[in-house]
Amino acid sequence: MHSLVSIGQELCLRGHNVTVASFGKDGESKTRKYSNGCALRYVSLGPNPLSKKDLAEAISNKLATTNNTFLQAKNAAKYIFSRVYGKLDGPVEKLLSQGVVSPNFAILTLPLGGLPSIMNRYGIDFAINLPTSLMPPAADQVAAWVPPPFVSETVEQLSYLSRSAVVVFNVVLHLGRHFGSLLGFIPDQAGELNIRHIRGKLWLINSIPGLDYPQPLPPLVQYTGPMINTDAMDGVERMPPEVDSFLGSVPPDKPVVYVSYGTVAVLSEDLVRHISAQFTGEDFYVVWALPKSQQNGLPKQLPRNVFVHHWIPTPRILANPKVRVFVSHCGGNSVSESIALGVPIVGYPQFGDQLPNCARLASSGAGIAAKPQSWLRKDHVLKVLQDPTYEQRAKALGRLFKLYGGVNRAADLIEADVRGDLEMLITPPDVSFSSWFFLNGYDLLVFLAVLCSLLPWFVSSFIRHCLAALWTAKRSRAAKAHSA
């Protein structure tokens, strides 16, 4: 939601009327927090179908109990995504039908549910904002060799069989999307899969090639970098005074390590105790963002080099020059903010897109990644602190982030899309199913498949004909010899 509201605020500052629609008080508070530069109108879609408590229980009881990424994906689909997927459809359509909002353009984010179908039905053009890396099955334009989020290895690390499985999975998914949409097998409520409703739309990817897999993409898939302006931090939430005070007390020659597993992951008391024990000594100082509900595992007396607070604005603390390493779960926002500010990461992914995010981060050289759900190790932190190449790579990626424009570029693209300027960027295969089918050469593949299926018949017929001719000639010669 942070990315959408950031784009909305920039459009608001440019004089556009912007309305944010989300669930309940939580959505409203986030809208207010991320748009303090320009007031956005907020419309509630009702209570959140998945409360923070239910989300935390699903993660700790269903996802964090296994290291099997496929089982994690299955449990996430069953206990989390099934609770929220498509829940926006009814409330949004009600708002549109009653005229509460009458937008000329919409910016959607995942999960899409039936929103693309609803927008098309009401004649509202839209773009899709992807706040994390471009990977299947979220987008159809992704290359066939890019691993889906439940694969924790990079392409270079995959075995031959794993790479083959990834390619087969993506090709089947790609063909199934198009043919399923044509034949009506994919319902309108599955917006990510129904190509009919998202064909020819602008996609904003809040990452960059290099952190993402560099790959050939159509013109309407545009990288923007993260939705954070590192040159203007005034709009970022202020640091709690006690955190500022602790940072000010850190000796100039000592690095600070920032630790946060985000707002979704739930750390057990045993894990909290283990992490606390890793920070003994004064090799570095630690600022740890840990929710109050998870602080039971902390020792009664923290080491003097460790400070724990229940809420710390991540961009604000990462911008502090004393912070040299970020211990993170590799959530999409965390990775973007850290790299944008040139801070390398020690990654401990838990589930979902955190796995490929960490893998790609390590592959780029801007940090290291442990195995999924590994426990923090002090030597990992010291490795990144003591090797300057990690910080150098993080800063290099941060400079690349700026080249892609961030929120300003996203707003520019939205304005161009609203004016209709981007229509000429629609590639011929995106015009229709028949264009996609013929221009991708699938008609040639069908022809070759038919030819290959008939070839054995032609070959066997030819061989039978030749053998029959030889047999006839042989019998003829034998008959002549006998008559002679």
pLDDT tens digit sequence for 4-26: 998 999 999 999 999 999 988 88
Q: Which residues pair with 244 in a beta bridge?
A: none
Reported as a single tens digit per residue, the pLDDT across 204-263 is: 999 999 888 889 999 999 999 988 876 666 667 788 999 999 999 999 999 999 999 987
Quick one: pLDDT at residue 68? 62
Give whichever of 55-59, 163-167, 331-335 has the largest mean pLDDT: 163-167
Distance, in Å, from the CA atom of 134 to the CA atom of 141, rounded to the nearest integer, reads 9
Q: What is the DSSP string of 110-147?
A: S--TTHHHHHHHTT-EEEEEESS---TTT-TTS-TTSP
Q: Is 291 helix (H, G, I), strand (E, B) or coil?
A: coil
CATH 3.40.50.850 corresponds to the domain 2-229+405-435? no
**For residue 416, how many other CB atoms are within 10 A of its CB?**
13
DSSP code of 77? Answer: I
Closest Cα partner for 55 from 335, 359, 352, 376?
352
Residue range 74-127, pLDDT digits in tens: 777 777 777 888 889 999 999 999 999 999 999 999 889 999 999 999 999 999
Distance CA 1, CA 42 (A): 13
Tokens coding 455: 């070839």
Q: List C-alpha distances in Å: 165 to 59, 172, 352, 420, 449.
A: 27, 10, 19, 40, 22
Class in CATH terms, 235-403:
alpha beta
Helix or strand or coil: residue 446? helix
Residue 482 has what pLDDT?
Answer: 72
Angle at which helices 2-13 and 24-34 cross, to 10°: 50
Band (pLDDT 50/70/90 cuts) for residue 396 is very high
Checking if the pLDDT of 480 tops 80, the result is no
